[in-house]
Amino acid sequence: MALMTGNEYVESMRKLNLQVYMFGEKIENPVDDPILRPSLNSVKATYDLAGNPEYEELMTTKSPYTGEIVNRFTHIHESTADLVKKVKMQRLCGQKTAACFQRCVGMDAFNAVYSTTFETDEAHGTNYHENFLSFLKYVQEKDLTVDGAMTDPKGDRSLAPHAQADPDLYLHVVERRPDGIVVRGAKAHQTGIINSHEVIVMPTIAMGEDDKDYAVSFAVPTDSEGIFMIVGRQSCDTRKLEGSQIDVGNSQFGGMEALVVFDNVFVPNDRIFLNGEYEFAGVLVERFAGYHRQSYGGCKVGVGDVLIGATAVAAEYNGAQRASHVKDKLIEMTHLNETLYCCGIACSAEGTKTKSGNYMIDLLLANVCKQNVTRFPYEIARLAEDIAGGLMVTAPSEKDLKNPKLGGYIDKYLRGVEDVSTENRLRILRLIENLTLGSAAVGYRTESMHGAGSPQAQRIMIARQGNLPMKKKLAKTIAKIEE
Tell me, yes or no, whether 13 lies in a domain.
Answer: yes
Tell me, yes or no, whether 1 lies in a domain.
Answer: no
Q: Is 263 left (phi over 0), alpha (psi -120 to 50) or beta?
A: beta
Same domain for 30 and 59?
yes
Angle between helices 324-349 and 281-318 (to 10 degrees): 160
Tell me, yes or no, whether 429 lies in a domain.
Answer: yes
State the average pLDDT over residues 145-159.
Answer: 97
Same domain for 315 and 222?
no
Provide the 8-state DSSP code for 395: P
157: closest CA among 442, 463, 456, 374?
A: 456
Provide the 8-state DSSP code for 5: P
CA 381 to chain centre: 19
Task: Provide CB contacts within 8 A for 167, sequence distance 6+.
Answer: 161
Same domain for 358 and 385?
yes
Q: Across 283-385, where does the E strand assignment appear?
A: 352-353, 359-360
CA 259 to chain centre: 15
Tell me, yes or no, whether 475 lies in a domain.
Answer: no
Query: Is the pLDDT confidence value at 1 over 70?
Result: no
Same domain for 164 and 309?
no
425: closest CA among 453, 396, 450?
A: 396
| H or E element that contains 161 | none
Same domain for 325 and 244?
no
Tell me, yes or no, whether 448 lies in a domain.
Answer: yes
pLDDT tens track for 278-327 = 999 999 999 999 999 999 999 999 999 999 999 999 999 999 999 999 99
Tell me, yes or no, whether 476 lies in a domain.
Answer: no
Amino acid at 234: Q
Could you tell me the CA-to-CA distances from 86 to 62, 76, 215, 369 in Å, in that order? 14, 11, 29, 15
Give, in degrees to the nearest 5, the angle at Cα 388 between 421 and 370.
130
293: domain CATH number is 1.20.140.10
Q: Sorting pLDDT into bands at 50, 70 and 90, what band is 441?
A: confident
State the average pLDDT over residues 152-178.
Answer: 98
| H or E element that contains 272 | strand 272-275
Last residue of a domain, one of 239, 259, 277: 277
* Higher per-residue pLDDT: 2 or 396: 396
Q: Are 302 and 95 in contact (CB under 8 A)?
A: yes
What pLDDT score was predicted for residue 445?
Answer: 84
Q: Are 230 and 194 in contact (CB under 8 A)?
A: no
Number of domains the chain contains: 2
Tell me, yes or no, whether 473 lies in a domain.
Answer: no
Radius of gyration of the chain (CA): 23
Q: How many CB atoms lie within 10 A of CB 28?
A: 9
Same domain for 190 and 298?
no
Query: Is the pLDDT confidence value at 55 over 70?
Result: yes
Same domain for 86 and 101?
yes
Query: Biggest alpha carbon distance in the chain?
Result: 86
Mean pLDDT of the residues in the chain: 97
Provide the 8-state DSSP code for 243: T
DSSP, collapsed to helix, strand or coil, labels residue 93 as helix
For the ranges 349-358, 372-381, 432-441, the lowest mean pLDDT is seen at: 432-441
Same domain for 251 and 287?
no
Same domain for 49 and 174?
yes
Q: Across 48-120, where does the E strand assignment appear?
A: 60-62, 69-71
Provide the 8-state DSSP code for 208: -
229: closest CA among 198, 186, 260?
A: 260
Tell me, yes or no, whether 481 lies in a domain.
Answer: no
Q: Are 76 and 114 in contact (CB under 8 A)?
A: yes
Could you tell me the CA-to-CA distances from 387 to 109, 327, 417 in Å, in that order? 39, 10, 15
11: domain CATH number is 2.40.110.10
Same domain for 287 and 403?
yes
Last residue of a domain, one of 277, 310, 341: 277
Q: How many CB atoms lie within 10 A of CB 18?
A: 20
Q: Whole-angstrom Cα distance, residue 307 to residue 384?
A: 7
Q: Are 460 and 371 in contact (CB under 8 A)?
A: no
pLDDT tens track for 327-342 = 999 999 999 999 999 9
Same domain for 457 and 312?
yes
Same domain for 404 and 292?
yes
430: closest CA among 462, 397, 387, 406?
A: 397
The set of catalytic residues is: 100, 104, 191, 257, 292, 296, 299, 447
Q: What domain range includes position 401?
A: 283-468
Last residue of a domain, one of 232, 250, 277: 277
pLDDT tens track for 180-222 = 999 999 999 999 999 999 999 999 999 999 999 999 999 999 9
